[in-house]
Amino acid sequence: MKIIECARDAMQGVATFIDTKHKIQYLNKLLEVGFDTLDFGSFVSPVAAPQMSDTAEVLAGLDLLATKTKLMVLVANLRGAQQAAAYEQIGYVGFPLSVSDSFQLQNTNKTISEAFAELAEVQALCYKANKTPVVYLSMSFGNPYGEPYSPEIVEDFAEKLVKMGVGTIVLSDTMGSSTTDDIKALFGALTARFPDIELGAHLHAKYGHVAKKTKAAYKSGVRRIDCAVRGFGGCLLAEDKLVGNLATELVVSELRQLGGHIPLNDAKLAAAMLQSQYIFE
């Protein structure tokens, strides 16, 4: 079971710039917990994500000597991927793709076809630089723009990605609108259709709904789940402001109850949760 701690997603929406040294302190706490991967920053335009403009400085301050946790950054184009490729410490490069043309334009200023072309270049660079590309497929559970949407459309996108050679696809609930039935149906179909692909879940929920969404994903064959300590960040399009990322502590608790092997250091997780108040509150 892979737990991906999405500190970048949690921090990027904070309006006030978080001091670089405080980011480093927090991320180093998270590196002690034992997560499979830490999504810690992004190489995108500082205009689009000013909170992440110090990603290179943050990386320089991370203590990687005593952790097995791998590092991931988000990029939106080839230029960002080139920046990520320059750092040996980074193992994963996330790339946002959407089943909604409107959201793709809003998010990366590209059409879907242009984004696919960009992805092909990013993917080639990643393999050359010994990085693993991770494609985040947004709007996987609904479309607020009046464009056609169905689970079959998501499956078609996944098939195209598989044919391109993408090995890790993360379905994103961009609006926080997914239900447990939606999660079971879509992940159930995709895990059966693409058994050799690593399918991940990047879901959003109210704090009280995290456990049941986690259970639905796990029962549908998902073995890669994104989350963030205390549910911070995520889901800017959700109508309900109480909807955020899946809270790490609740995801871990639920997965353990379901029999998942989650070898995290609980004391270190508690320390990171305590540290988070100085970042987000």
Determine the average pLDDT of the residues in 4-20. 94
Give the span between the Cα atoms of 108 and 106, in whole angstroms: 6
Give the span between the Cα atoms of 219 and 232, in whole angstroms: 25
Which amino acid, 46?
Answer: P
pLDDT value at residue 235: 62
Q: For residue 207, give every residue at least 6 positions away whose Cβ sits within 8 Å of its Cβ, in sequence order, or none.
A: 231, 242, 244, 247, 250
State the sign of the Cα–Cα–Cα–Cα dihedral 169, 175, 76, 114. Answer: positive
Which amino acid, 61?
Answer: G
Which amino acid, 168?
Answer: T
pLDDT > 70 in the chain, percent: 97
pLDDT value at residue 114: 97
Which of 156, 157, 134, 254 is closest to 205 using CA atoms? Answer: 254
Count CB-CB contacts under 10 A for residue 81: 25
List pLDDT tens digits, range 74-126.
Answer: 999 999 999 999 999 999 999 999 999 999 999 899 999 999 999 999 999 99
Question: Taking phi first (over 0 means left), then psi (-120 to 50 degrees means alpha), and beta for anything else, what does residue 180 get?
Answer: alpha
pLDDT value at residue 144: 86
CATH 3.20.20.70 matches 2-280: yes
pLDDT category at 237 given cuts 50, 70, 90 is low
pLDDT category at 10 given cuts 50, 70, 90 is very high
List pLDDT tens digits, range 152-182.
Answer: 999 999 999 999 999 999 999 988 889 999 9
pLDDT value at residue 205: 92
Which of 71, 91, 74, 73 is closest to 31 using CA atoms? Answer: 71
> Alpha helix (H) ranges present in the chain?
7-12, 20-31, 55-61, 78-85, 101-108, 112-128, 151-164, 180-193, 210-219, 248-257, 266-280
228 touches 5 (CB < 8 A): yes
Distances (CA, A) of 7 to 13, 187, 198: 11, 24, 21
pLDDT at 242 over 90: no
Surface-to-core class of residue 281, CB atoms within 10 Å of its CB (0-12 exposed, 13-18 middle, 19+ buried): exposed
Give the span between the Cα atoms of 42 and 227, in whole angstroms: 17
pLDDT value at residue 280: 86
List pLDDT tens digits, range 46-66.
Answer: 998 999 999 999 999 999 999
78 touches 39 (CB < 8 A): no
pLDDT category at 281 given cuts 50, 70, 90 is confident
pLDDT category at 240 given cuts 50, 70, 90 is low
List pLDDT tens digits, range 182-211.
Answer: 999 999 999 999 999 999 999 999 999 999
Give the span between the Cα atoms of 255 and 5, in whole angstroms: 15
Rounded mean pLDDT of the chain?
94
